[in-house]
Amino acid sequence: MEGGEMIEARRISKFFSIVNKEGIAEGLTACLSVTLSIEKGKIITLLGPSGCGKSTFLEILAGLQAPSEGEVFIDGVRVLEPLPSTRAEMDAYRKRYRFLSPLANDLFRDRPKHDIAMIFQDYAVFPWMTVLQNVTFTLKLRGLRRAEREKQALFYLNKVGLGASLHKYPSQLSGGMRQRLAFARALSVEPKAILMDEPFAAVDLLTRERLQDDLLKLLDSSGITIVIVTHDVAEAAYLSDEIIIFSPSPGTIRNRFTIDVPRPRRRDHPELADIQERISRLLKYDIDNESEYSI
Amino acid sequence: MQVDQQYGSKGFGRLTRGAGLFLRNSFGSLFSREFIKVLIPLLLLWEVIPRFDILPRTLAPTLSDVALAFRDMVINKGLLLHILYSLGKFLAGLLIAVFTAIPIGIFMGWNLPIRKHTLPLFQILAPIPPPAWVPLTIIIFGIGLPMQIYLIFLGAFYPILFNTYQAIKDTDPRYLSSARVFGASELTLICNIYFWNALGAIIMSVKTGVAIALVMLVIAEMYGGRSGIGYLLVEAKDFFQIPAMVVCMLVLGMIGWFSIEILKFAELKLALWKVGR
Amino acid sequence: MVTLLLVILCVVFAFQSTQKLFSPKAIIGHNGSPLLAFLYAADEGDEGREAFTAAKFNSSADVGYALLSGTIHAGFIEPEKALELSRLSGFDNLVVLGKVTFPYGVTVITKKGSSLRLQDINGHHIGVPSDNPALLKEFTTAVSKYPVQLKQVNYQFLPSDAIIPALDAGKIHGAIVKGSKSVIAISDGHNILFQKWDMEPGNECCPPVIDQLEFVLLAQKKEQTRNRALVEILTGSAALNPSVLRAALSRAEHVPETLFADLPLASFELADNQLLSLFSQHSGTDHHK
């Protein structure tokens, strides 16, 4: 493990077995031998059409799925050992995880294994808790005392602009405000890395651009490593330091683009447009030449 | 502000306001203006038809006969006391069912190995209709209070259990992922996520449980009870006291209606955070 | 509004038309009581099998309801319940055909192993059936001939089916029961402290009909020829050899004959004027409220 690497993934592969239409079990490769190193403080985007395994890869990075092969390290700590492959390994695995799956944290104690946060596209916030309670919930998991929790929650909620809706329920908020709440929750624990799975897909274009700007403002020199999964090329170009193109079946890293344009960027910057063009051509080539997508 | 100063903003004030809201919702929805238009003629017909012998009066009592029988039962037979007994048994059986079925359901929905070990047993026992349990229950518990509470408990238990475990099982995994990533323990998950997400379905299942428990209340009291509305019902039936039977039927109906209204009110309170997508 | 009225009218007509549903063979309802040995014997005999079928109900109240709706032709009901039935207007279509009496009169029983004597009954708890309080009067009248003090007796009124369990549990020291119920008590091993036999008609206390009367036979009033035939068959059956009756009873109840070997059998007779007047008095009082 080299210094400066926040997240490191080595030869991550994920295989599923599905039953196809004829009722025969088929192997599905979500990712094949993906190796990736992400530096501290960078914003990385995983880009690719739907169904190419990037969401799966992100979940493996977060520790929400176990890889079939390979290892992931977050700040030096390993995330989830790979699934067993041999018979002996499988027996040992079954014995260890007979009661509790490896995805679960401790039975009784709240114990964040890694200092990360995650934001999903939908279902990011809990509808039965108010805005304030949503944020204090995650802070409580970190072990803060009540007064501190409230203070920190209020601070970040004000930062995302939800200071006036503290006691509203998410169902009373708009889609954009809900995503802001998700940001507030993620930022409030002051993590080292934030993983986002298509965070802006559920909102309209104008809100999306607003949220993107707000995100950049929030992250301004905070040093948090960000990994975003998206299928919007323009978004990727606007936000990220590095774009990693995934190609489908099997999901592998096809290409990497580095963007050196300093922030704040203009959406119509020529270099961004150029990169977008190249990426679109690349993806179109993939669509024309590859046949199967599992969306 | 004025209201708060009058009743106090916490505690008693909230209680009375909540009770007022409840009564207004429940009675209001039942005795709406439209239904009153239908109800008054129906009541009149009820009073008139037996009087003119269109239906024989002693077999189809009029409203006033029933009202008189009600008064007689309250004064001479201690109807109110019997209602209290019935309510007590009903609530006891229901609460025991709620506080056992919900935890068991939560454990079964939360963890697959637990579910695999326990669910088949319940799936075998559940289809047995509760009235079929009566003879076995009498053998084990004898005739008396434990047998009656057990039968009521049995009626309410299975609907609550199955719906709870299913709702917990079907919790959207993304909620769980959201919490797990931040380090939530399984206990935190159960108390803060699984339970609240499933609460709507749980209350609906308790409504079903209440309906069946009410049936079992009557059956249990018929089989060797000495107190309660079911016992009064059977006694009236055995001695051809038709108006008294109608009084018992109406009282049982009211008990059931009231329980369902309380649950509906609880659901209303929860609707605040229901996500409307 | 109109549909509602139509629905109600339909219900009314349906109700009235069920009165006419009769099967060619008469159905006699009963509750399976062991006192109806003659009925079971008649059911087995050739004449009986041609004339009627015996149908068992869960309780005699159900027999009463079936009679009211016209689904059965005749039925045996306990006299207390039959008197209540007579208050209903459907009773106009019914007639009191016969009575079933059992020779044992009012009885006082005590728990097995108890050494309580009748003279010492004062101060003890004695159970009385709450649905047949006339028995208490019978008892006090019958006992008045003997030097027994009853002033301090603590009478507990319980439902009839609660009396023997209360005796078993020790909540009461003794109980006043109807004659036929004492048979059950004896088979459980309890003692009989006092029993009144063969009350004479014209007794100054109470109509003897209630005391030793176990069932009344009610029937549809219209079917007069059939009623006569039934009474004939049943009276004839009641006059059969006791061993024949006991055999029929053991077959009907699925218990060995030896159980009834020492016990008397209930007898069946045509309803006499006293019984008929009792019913017409009672039904006249609160028929039209």
| C17-37 confidence digits (pLDDT tens) | 555 554 568 899 998 888 888
Considering the domain architecture, whether residues B112 and B173 belong to the same structural domain is answered as: yes
Q: What is the pLDDT of residue B7?
A: 47
Mean pLDDT of all residues in A222-242: 88
CA nearest C11 in B: which residue?
A: B55
Confirm or reject contact between B56 and chain C (CB < 8 A). yes
- For residue A250, give the amino acid letter: P
Say whether both B141 and B183 belong to one domain: yes
Q: What is the mean pLDDT of residues B171-198?
A: 88
Domain architecture of chain A: domains with CATH: 5-115+192-289 (3.40.50.300), 118-191 (no CATH)
Among the partner-chain residues B186, B188, B274, the one whose CB lies closest to the CB of A141 is: B188
Q: Is B172 on the interface with A (CB under 8 A)?
A: yes
CA angle C83, C85, C88 (to 5 degrees): 125
Residues whose CB falls within 8 Å of the CB of residue C136, separated by 6 or more in sequence, listed in order: C128, C155, C176
In a domain, B56, yes or no: no
Query: How many contacts (CB atoms, under 8 Å) link B and C?
Result: 45
Evaluate whether residue B106 is within a structural domain. Answer: yes
- pLDDT at residue C23, rounded to an integer: 53
**pLDDT exceeds cutoff 90 at B115:** yes
Residue B238's closest chain C neighbor by CA? C61
The tally of domains found in chain B comes to 2
Q: Which of A82-91, B88-97, C112-121 has the lowest mean pLDDT?
A: C112-121
User: Is B35 an 8 Å CB contact of chain C?
Assistant: no
Give the list of residues 6+ apart from residue B95 with CB closer than 8 angstroms, or none.
none
CATH number of the domain where residue B185 is located: 1.10.3720.10
N-to-C CA span, chain C = 30
Q: Is the pLDDT of residue C282 over 50?
A: yes
Whether residue B200 contacts residue B274, with contact meaning beta carbons closer than 8 Å, is answered with: yes
For C69, name the nearest residue in chain B, comparing CA atoms only. Answer: B59
**Model confidence at C203: pLDDT above 50:** no
- Tell me which CATH code domain C104-197 carries: 3.40.190.10
B65/C64 Cβ within 8 A: no
Taking the Cβ of residue B271 and every Cβ of chain A, the question of whether any pair is shorter than 8 Å is answered with no
pLDDT at position A289: 66
Average pLDDT over every residue of A130-154: 90
Q: What is the identity of the amino acid at B122? A: F
Instruction: Give CA–CA dist A216/A266, Å, rounded.
Output: 13
Confidence check: pLDDT of A102 > 90: no
Other residues' Cβ atoms within 10 Å of the Cβ of residue A259: 21
On whether residue B129 sits in a domain, the answer given is yes
pLDDT of C128 reads 86
Q: What is the CATH number of domain C2-101+212-285?
A: 3.40.190.10
User: Is A228 a residue whose pLDDT tops 50?
Assistant: yes
Q: Rounded mean pLDDT of A156-173?
A: 88
Q: What value does the mean pLDDT of chain C take? A: 79
Of A120, A128, A189, nearest to B196 by CB-CB distance is: A128
Q: Does B45 touch chain C (CB under 8 A)?
A: yes
Return the ∠ at Cα A110 (arms to A107 and A111), rounded to 5°: 100
Does the CB of A94 have a partner CB in chain B at under 8 Å?
no
Q: How close C101 comes to chain B (CA, Å)?
A: 21
CB neighbours of residue C261 within 10 Å: 11
pLDDT of A293 strictly over 50: no
Subunit contact B57:C61, Cβ cutoff 8 A? no
Domain range list for chain C: 2-101+212-285, 104-197
Q: Is B31 in the same domain as B117?
A: no
From edge to edge, which strands make up the β-sheet containing C26-30? C52-56, C26-30, C74-77, C213-220, C94-101, C267-270
pLDDT digits (tens, 9 = 90+) for C147-178: 777 788 888 888 777 787 788 777 888 888 88
Residues B116 and B164 placed together within one structural domain of the fold: yes
Picking from C4, C88, C131, the nearest residue to B240 by CB comes out as C88
- The answer as to whether B9 is a domain residue is yes
Q: B82 and B16, same structural domain? A: no
Percent of the residues in chain C that have a pLDDT greater than 90, as a whole number: 7
> What residue of C is the nearest CA neighbor of B231?
C159
Q: Which chains touch A (3 or more CB pairs under 8 A)?
A: B
Structure tokens belonging to residue A12? 């991550």
Query: Which region among A241-255, A279-293, C147-161, C227-241 has the lowest average model confidence (pLDDT)?
Result: A279-293
pLDDT of residue C284: 58
More confident site: B264 or A113: B264
B118 with B36, same domain: the answer is no
What is the predicted pLDDT for the residue at B94?
95
User: Could you tell me the CA-to-CA distances from B253 to B25, B250, B258, B259 in Å, in that order?
Assistant: 18, 5, 9, 10
Strands C174-177 and C26-30: unpaired
pLDDT of residue C199: 53
The interface residues of chain B toward chain C in range 234-273, judged by CB-CB distance below 8 A, are 237-242
Residue of chain B whose alpha carbon sits nearest to that of A121: B174
* Pairwise CA distance, residues A100 & A108, whole Å: 12
Would you state the pLDDT for residue A1? 39
What does the pLDDT look like over B22-43, one tens digit per residue? 888 888 888 888 888 999 999 9
Cβ–Cβ gap C90/B242 under 8 Å: no
| DSSP run (H or E) holding A171 | none
pLDDT tens, position by position, A30-60: 888 888 888 888 899 998 877 778 888 888 8
- Say if residue B60 is exposed, middle or buried (CB neighbours under 10 Å; 0-12, 13-18, 19+): buried
Task: Confirm or reject contact between C282 and chain B (CB < 8 A).
Answer: no
**What is the pLDDT at residue A295?**
40
SS3 content of chain B, % helix, strand, coil (to 5): 85, 0, 15
Is the predicted pLDDT of residue C120 greater than 90, yes or no? no
Q: What is the pLDDT of residue A3?
A: 47
Token pair for C256: 């060995």
Is residue C146 over pLDDT 70? yes
Residue C218 pLDDT exceeds 50:
yes
- Cβ contact A98–B113 (<8 Å): yes
Residue C283's pLDDT is what?
A: 66
CB-nearest partner of B56 from C8, C89, C162? C89
Predicted local confidence at residue C16, as pLDDT: 62
Q: Which of these ranges, A139-143, A288-292, C205-209, has the smallest mean pLDDT?
A: C205-209
Tell me the CA end-to-end span of chain B in Å, nearest whole number: 34
What percent of chain A lies above the pLDDT cut of 70? 95
Residue C181, pLDDT > 70, answer yes
Do B240 and C80 lie within an 8 Å CB cutoff?
Answer: no
- Cβ proximity of C173 and C111 under 8 Å: yes
pLDDT at B245: 93
pLDDT at position B161 is 96
Check whether C205 has a pLDDT greater than 70: no
Contacts of B238 in chain C (CB under 8 A): 59, 61, 81
**Top-confidence residue, C288 or C154:** C154
pLDDT in the model for residue B1: 44
If asked whether residues B23 and B144 sit together in one domain, one would say no
C193, C174 contact by CB (below 8 A): yes
Q: Is A106 on the interface with B (CB under 8 A)?
A: yes
pLDDT for B100 equals: 96
Q: What do you get for the CA distance between the two ends of chain A, in Å? A: 35
The distance from CA C105 to its chain's CA centroid, rounded to whole angstroms, is 13
| pLDDT tops 90 at residue B84 | yes
Nearest CA in chain B to C62: B238
Widest Cα–Cα separation across chain C: 73
* pLDDT for the residue numbered C289: 34
Does the pLDDT at position B108 exceed 70?
Answer: yes
When the pLDDT of each residue in chain B is averaged and rounded to a whole number, the result is 87
Contact with chain A for residue B151, Cβ under 8 A: no
Q: What's the whole-number mean pLDDT along residues B127-153?
A: 90
pLDDT at B186: 87
**Range name among B244-253, C135-144, C187-196 with the lowest pLDDT average:** C187-196
Together in a domain, B130 and B8: no
**Across residues C95-116, what is the average pLDDT?**
82
**Whose structure tokens read 């008990």?**
B255
Give the pair of three-digit tokens for residue B131: 């009235």
pLDDT at B272: 67
Which residues of chain A lie closer than 8 angstroms to B199, CB-CB?
Answer: 128
> Which pair of tokens denotes residue A268?
């119509």
C2 lies within 8 A of chain B by CB? no
Q: Does C125 touch chain B if contact means CB atoms closer than 8 Å?
A: no
Q: Are residues B266 and B141 in the same domain?
A: yes
Residue among A121, A126, A149 with most chain B CBs within 10 A, to mutate? A126
Of A99, A108, A111, the CB nearest to B113: A99
Q: Is the per-residue pLDDT at B135 higher than 50?
A: yes
Q: Say whether pLDDT at B2 is over 60.
A: no
* CA–CA gap between residue A166 and residue A184 (Å, rounded): 12
DSSP, res B10: S
C121, pLDDT greater than 90: no
By CA distance, what is B54's nearest residue in C?
Answer: C12
Q: Does the pLDDT of residue A4 top 80, yes or no? A: no
Those of residues 50-69 in A touching chain B at CB distance below 8 A are: 59, 62-64
Is B65 within a domain?
Answer: yes
How far apart, in whole angstroms, are the C-alpha atoms of residue C156 and residue C171?
10
Alpha carbon distance A148, B240 (integer Å)? 72
Contacts of C88 in chain B (CB under 8 A): 56, 58-59, 240, 242
Residue B186: which of A104, A129, A171 has the nearest Cβ? A104
What CA–CA distance (Å, rounded) separates B216 from B64?
Answer: 30
Helix (H) or strand (E) holding A39: strand A25-39
Range of the domain at B252: 61-273
Query: Does B65 contact C at CB distance below 8 Å?
Result: yes
Whether the pLDDT of residue A294 is over 60: the answer is: no
Whether residues B23 and B110 share a domain: the answer is no
| C-interface mutation test, from B63, B76, B240, most C Cβ less than 10 A away | B240
Are residues B102 and B20 located together in one domain of the fold?
A: no
Q: Is the pLDDT of residue C59 over 50?
A: yes
Please state the length of chain A: 295
- Whether B240 and C61 lie within 8 Å, measured CB to CB: yes
| B29 touches A at CB < 8 Å | no
Would residue B51 count as lying in a domain? no
Residue B134 belongs to a domain? yes
Mean pLDDT for C4-9 is: 84
Nearest Cα of chain A lies from the Cα of B272 at a distance, in angstroms, of 8
In the complex, which subunits touch C with 3 or more CB pairs below 8 angstroms? Answer: B
Q: Are residues B115 and B207 in the same domain?
A: yes
Mean pLDDT value across chain A? 84
Rounded to whole angstroms, the Cα distance separating C219 from C234 reads: 13
- pLDDT > 70? residue B173: yes
